[in-house]
A and B are shown apart, each in its own frame.
Chain A
Amino acid sequence: MLPNSGAPHRAGSRGGLLASELALVFRRRRTWAMLLALGAVPVLIALAVRLTSGPPAGRGPAFLDRVAGNGLFVALVGMLVSIPLFLPLTVAVVAGDTIAGEAGNGTLRYLLLAPASRARLLLIKYAAAAAFCVAATAMVALCGVGIGLLLFPAGPVALLSGDTIPLGESFLRLGLVTAYAAVSLLGLAAVGLFVSTLTDVPVGAMAATAVLSVAAQIMGQLPQLDWLHPWLFTEHWMGFADLLRQPVLWDSFGENAALQAGYVLLFGGLAWARFATKDILS
């Protein structure tokens, strides 16, 4: 559904501000354009594999050579390809827009005059950005599963540990990978929220957030910055392989979640420190 084309939609007729905020984010044409672009990633991968003979084993993204044998791997490869750039880019747009978008639009002052307390507004804005992180990763996974099952055979999946798990459990593992990717983006969303409190120009906040996610990944590649790596919010982004072992190794999931929680607390705190006393002059 693409709203905004004809009849304007309604936001939150009975619910509270959170419901209204979710409706605002998820009924926006821009959000759906981003989600559709994310959904196109696994579709393109699947089509590329289907229409060619497939790459020789060991080349291209990990697991790409397994796609032709099992459609579920489309979702996995799609996630792997989207994590470094596509997913953070869309999250940067949503998170950078949170406060700066309202400020640029002038609606921030009316929300505060309603009154919504600044703390509540910040929390709700973050909650909606976090919901987008979940929706974005789910979109990649769902589109991947859909197109994979359509174009390729499905069946038990051979794991990295060599064990084979039945199809039902494979869906569960894919869900875990999706959750892992969504959690990975929560820190970035908090960074975006903070950047968004610094400016009244949403595009600036979005760009700055996107640049930070790329910069963190580049720093993660430099061996000279080894000491810094454990503190980068991008450090565990590609580390979901442990979820594909039998039994599941939860260590990387836990480390990633703790790191992201730290970022949420730190940048959420910074956003609050900035926003609580900011003069709203927009």
Chain B
Amino acid sequence: MNHFWIIIISILAGLPCAWLGSFLVLRKMAMIGDAISHSILPGIVIAYLMSGQKDSFLLFLGASLFGILSTFLIEYLHSKSGLQADASIGITFTFLFSLGVILICYFSSQIDLDQDCVLYGELAYSPLSRWIIDIYDFGPKAFWVLFLVVICTFSYIYFFYQPLKLVSFDEEFAKVSGINVMLWHYSLMGMVSFITVSTFEEVGSILVISNLAVPALTAFLISKNFKRMLFLASFFLILSCILGYGLAYFLNVAVAASISLLGGLIFGIVFITEKMISNQKKYLALGL
């Protein structure tokens, strides 16, 4: 039963990342996900200091605030100071990350935020903390939390699909059509911060970054239609979760990391297959 729960939890933690990652890939902002997932560290530490526990609402709030703050800073340095976009991402997130590390060191006696757990997550232990009312066992707590996150992300994309798609594909056109591009930009960034913080405790920040980029890019290679890309990204994500857990089980290694390894492997296979097919088409077209 534990195997089942771990796979389900890893899929639930991955789906929102894969969906939002598709938008990020289209907007050429794949590295923003990386930046946000590092920048939320001081937010988590501060919220943790104030609330004293790991699963409080304050943690979401603090992390989301710092996530959005980092995107503001990136945007400001880029547009107002004329700093290159990549450099402004690099400087912003390292700044906030080092601030977070310093805070952890300073308050080390009051915080037991393990650097390892931030990195790898606690996927293998996630089924152990259960949601129990009276004598009824409703399953792992993480399942229900992540289920809620998936619902939130899904409804965000479902209800705002049109403007989000428009802003991602053609920002200029969206602007002319009277869509508030900045609003959608920051709402997307807010959502990315939200899912980053709500999933990183289970799966670790490596898998969050990898889930944001890898399934979406794999799907991006072989789809010409955005809805299809979203479906394919979900499919690849689920595949990598199932196979990745299998690998982790047999080698007895970190689950989150082996899922991201499998994601890379699937990407490689799809990339090579796509290359071969398109080469074949080229030859066929040339009549060879």
Question: A and B bound?
Answer: no
